[in-house]
């Protein structure tokens, strides 16, 4: 059984279970994940599977890209497989040595086999644990892959709810961005009216005159400084890219997208900050505050995506 990784967005929080068995025994797997900036695995393996630790971690890392992972793998052998066996050669050696030992007082000696089996080396495991683990590896691998498939189903359902919330926030951002696009030219006109009013009152007070060209120059300087058209365009572009990544329309590479969404949100926040600092208008500032609130909600959700 093999699991093919596909490009998708999943929550980093979830759990999955799986159990498989064959003539070698029964394998049960439980995997739990929570959010983490990178990949961190904590393995809980039975003693008989400890030699497979590196293989198990490598497999988990290839199937789970981000998150803190707790993976438990337990083995239950068939009845009788765990029984120890008597090493006949070691026991025979003990018996021969005891038989050759003759008490000096002529007392008859009885050999107690129940006591002999407790001597070192008499009772041994029937199989080499490392060989058993290697024989079990295909079953262990299949059980782990199945548990992670179940984990991904749960994480996918959780992500569907998160993705819907993210899309709602994106729609709100677009609406408010369009509002800013409408308000920006009005802000320049409002500044022109305020500036002209101040100048006219000052000129009237001091009986001075000013050339219209000077007023136009000052107005152009403000218009250039307050122009947010480039920031609006870039923010709209970031929103489009966010949608593409969220829906998996960018490409088919098997890689996590949560980190990429987080980077896009950082760029969105940077453009929003620039708009707020450049546009000297109360209405635009109010829209910027609402956009920042929506972006912060999106950031909290994205940080829990794989």
Specify whether 243 is located in the same domain as 111: no
Which tokens in the block code for residue 75?
A: 């083995």
Specify whether 191 is located in the same domain as 250: yes
Specify whether 141 is located in the same domain as 202: no
Among residues 20, 126, 33, 130, which one has the least CA distance to residue 75?
A: 20
Specify whether 105 is located in the same domain as 188: no
Judge whether 168 lies within some domain. Answer: yes
Q: Is the pTM of this model over 0.75?
A: no
pLDDT at 2 (0 to 100): 39
Judge whether 4 lies within some domain. Answer: no
Indicate the SS3 state at residue 256: coil
Which CATH number does the domain housing residue 34 bear?
A: 3.30.230.70
Specify whether 152 is located in the same domain as 165: no
Specify whether 219 is located in the same domain as 109: no
pLDDT at 95 (0 to 100): 82
Please state, as a whole number, how many other Cβ atoms lie within 10 Å of the Cβ of residue 25.
19
pLDDT at 5 (0 to 100): 37
Judge whether 2 lies within some domain. Answer: no
Buried b (16+ CB within 10 A) or exposed e, 127-146: eeeeebbeebbebbbbbbbb
Distances (CA, A) of 247 to 62, 177, 261, 304: 22, 22, 11, 16
3-state secondary structure 190-233: HHHHHHHHHHHHHHHHHCCCCCHHHHHHHHHHHHHHHCCHHHHH
Which tokens in the block code for residue 262?
A: 């987080």
- Quote the radius of gyration of the chain (alpha carbons, Å): 37
Judge whether 109 lies within some domain. Answer: yes
pLDDT at 7 (0 to 100): 43
Specify whether 50 is located in the same domain as 139: yes
Specify whether 74 is located in the same domain as 146: yes
Q: Which of 72, 105, 123 is the last residue of a domain?
A: 123
Specify whether 294 is located in the same domain as 211: yes
Specify whether 169 is located in the same domain as 147: no
pLDDT at 244 (0 to 100): 87
Judge whether 8 lies within some domain. Answer: no
Judge whether 1 lies within some domain. Answer: no
Distances (CA, A) of 100 to 41, 103, 104, 111, 112: 58, 10, 12, 12, 15
Judge whether 6 lies within some domain. Answer: no
Domain span at 102: 84-123
pLDDT at 6 (0 to 100): 38
Specify whether 42 is located in the same domain as 142: yes
pLDDT at 183 (0 to 100): 86
Which tokens in the block code for residue 192?
A: 């022109």
Are 38 and 66 a contacting pair, CB within 8 Å? yes
pLDDT at 126 (0 to 100): 56
| Ranges of the chain with pLDDT below 50 | 1-7, 250-254
Report the number of distinct structural domains present in the chain.
3
pLDDT at 47 (0 to 100): 74
Q: How far apart are CA 118 and CA 181, in angstroms?
A: 87
pLDDT at 218 (0 to 100): 66
Specify whether 233 is located in the same domain as 166: yes
């Amino acid at each position: 059984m093999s699991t093919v990784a596909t490009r998708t967005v999943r929550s980093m929080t979830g759990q999955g279970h799986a159990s498989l068995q064959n003539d070698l025994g029964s394998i049960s797997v439980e995997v739990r994940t929570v959010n983490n900036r990178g990949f961190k695995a904590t393995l809980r393996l039975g003693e008989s599977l400890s030699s497979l630790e590196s293989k198990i971690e490598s497999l988990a890392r290839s199937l789970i890209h981000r998150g803190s992972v707790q993976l438990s793998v337990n083995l239950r052998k068939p009845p009788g497989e765990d029984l120890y066996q008597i090493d006949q050669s070691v026991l025979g050696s003990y018996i021969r040595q005891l038989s050759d030992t003759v008490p000096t007082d002529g007392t008859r000696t009885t050999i107690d086999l129940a006591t002999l089996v407790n001597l070192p080396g008499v009772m041994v495991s029937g199989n080499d644990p490392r060989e058993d683990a290697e024989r079990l590896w295909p079953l262990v691998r299949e059980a782990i892959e199945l548990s992670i498939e179940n984990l991904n189903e749960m994480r996918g359902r959780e992500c569907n709810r998160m993705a819907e919330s993210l899309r709602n926030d994106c729609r709100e951002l677009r609406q408010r961005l369009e509002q800013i696009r409408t308000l920006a030219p009005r802000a320049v006109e409002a500044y022109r009216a305020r500036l002209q009013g101040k100048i006219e009152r000052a000129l009237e007070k001091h009986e001075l005159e000013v050339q219209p060209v000077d007023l136009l120059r000052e107005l152009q300087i403000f218009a250039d400084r307050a122009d947010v058209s480039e920031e609006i365009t870039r923010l709209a572009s970031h929103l489009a890219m966010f949608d593409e990544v969220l829906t998996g329309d960018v490409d088919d590479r098997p890689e996590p997208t949560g980190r990429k969404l987080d980077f896009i949100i950082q760029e969105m926040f940077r453009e929003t900050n620039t708009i707020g600092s450049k546009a000297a208008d109360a209405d635009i500032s109010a829209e910027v505050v609402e956009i920042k609130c929506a972006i912060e909600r999106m950031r909290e959700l994205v940080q829990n995506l794989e």
